[in-house]
Amino acid sequence: MDTILNYLDNMFMSLPRTAEVMRAKAELAAMMEDKYQELLAEGKSDNEAVGIVISEFGNLRELAEELGIGEVYSNESLKGKAKLIGAAEAEQYLDLNKNASKGFAIGTMLCVFSPIVLMILAGLQEGGYAITDAALVCGGVVPLLCIVAVAVGFFIYHGVRVEKYDYMKKEVITISPETEKYVRSRLAEVERIFLMKLIVGVVMCILSVVPLLVVGGMLNGSSMHCCFMVAVMLAIIGVAVFFIVSGAVEKEALQVLLQEGEYTPRKKEEQKIGSIYWPLVTCIYLAWSFLSGDWGITWLIWPIAAVLFAVVTSIYNSYSRPGGRS
């Protein structure tokens, strides 16, 4: 068994020492030992038993899915062709995204705020105040467009600044252990803050309709008061969205570097396939629909395509892993 266990250690050497991987390793060790003892009981020599066990259980590529570590194994396999990101570049990327998170959050908040002036003026008009339609356009629509323009400016400015790092979201990358330790410490801090921001933001979104319900329903408010309460609702939602977006963007940048969440190597490979697969499916759907005219039936192509996509990505992953066919 010493020979078998040493071989097992080499099989798992390149995988991260997570609880999931350690469980799979222990499970495979138990399977190997059971088979080894069974062979000895059948009268096989020690060397014969070791050889049979290794030949039967020695290919982790074939056993990964069965052991429940298929995605982990696939991700680690893809990291072999990963691009190394230096500590300085990683820190610059994180700092840039930290500033961008505020910019994107402000831009999103401004978009939600933009109709507030229009809603207030519309309420005053409904209340009998002397506000003409022209005044409503000049005093409400023009500020709306100006606020949206400022918001778009935030999006463009910060979007262009972080655009040069977009390759990190698409390509397989890797960072040094020291950099990973630093990034994980920042992620732990950001996750705590993001959780609080998310809770506050979601609660505010839920409660934002309360003023409108109270005035419009319980107090039988006029159209003017309802318009005012819609403005209040938009103001509350705008602040809530600021909290949620600012936290989400900063957390996403950390996940990009760690290649976690939606940015694992396996999912990046699936995105490459999807960039070809789904436009092709769309072309087939439109061609079939226009030629047959059976729009009530052709929609079935989407659930079928979704199932086939899972099959295609599984085949691609199995062939692209080390030891797979090329």
279 or 106, which is more confident? Answer: 106
pLDDT at 48: 82
Average pLDDT on 255-269 reads 76
74 pLDDT band, cuts 50/70/90, is: low
171 or 199, which is more confident? Answer: 199
Average pLDDT on 250-269 reads 80
Average pLDDT on 38-42 reads 85
Q: How far apart are CA 89 and CA 292, in angstroms?
A: 54
Average pLDDT on 250-276 reads 77
pLDDT of 28 above 70: yes
Q: How far apart are CA 266 and CA 275, in angstroms?
A: 14
Q: What is the pLDDT of residues 209-246, one digit of tens each?
A: 998 888 877 667 678 888 888 899 999 999 999 999 99
Q: How far apart are CA 252 and CA 259, in angstroms?
A: 10
The one-letter amino acid code at 202 reads V
Q: Is the dihedral of CA 283, 286, 291, 295 positive or negative?
A: positive
276: left (phi over 0), alpha (psi -120 to 50) or beta: alpha
Q: How far apart are CA 87 and CA 180, in angstroms?
A: 9
pLDDT at 323: 42
pLDDT of 256 above 90: no
101 or 324, which is more confident? Answer: 101
Q: pTM score, two decimals? A: 0.61
> Among 96-100, 103-107, 313-317, which range has the highest average pLDDT?
103-107
Spatial CB neighbours of 187, under 8 Å, sequence gap ≥ 6: 251, 254, 255, 258
* Percent of the chain's residues with pLDDT above 90: 20
| Cβ atoms of 112 and 234 closer than 8 Å | yes
| Cβ atoms of 298 and 284 closer than 8 Å | no
296 or 205, which is more confident? Answer: 205
Average pLDDT on 293-304 reads 80
Q: What is the pLDDT of residues 117-162, one digit of tens each?
A: 988 888 888 777 777 878 878 888 888 999 999 999 999 999 998 8
pLDDT of 322 above 50: no
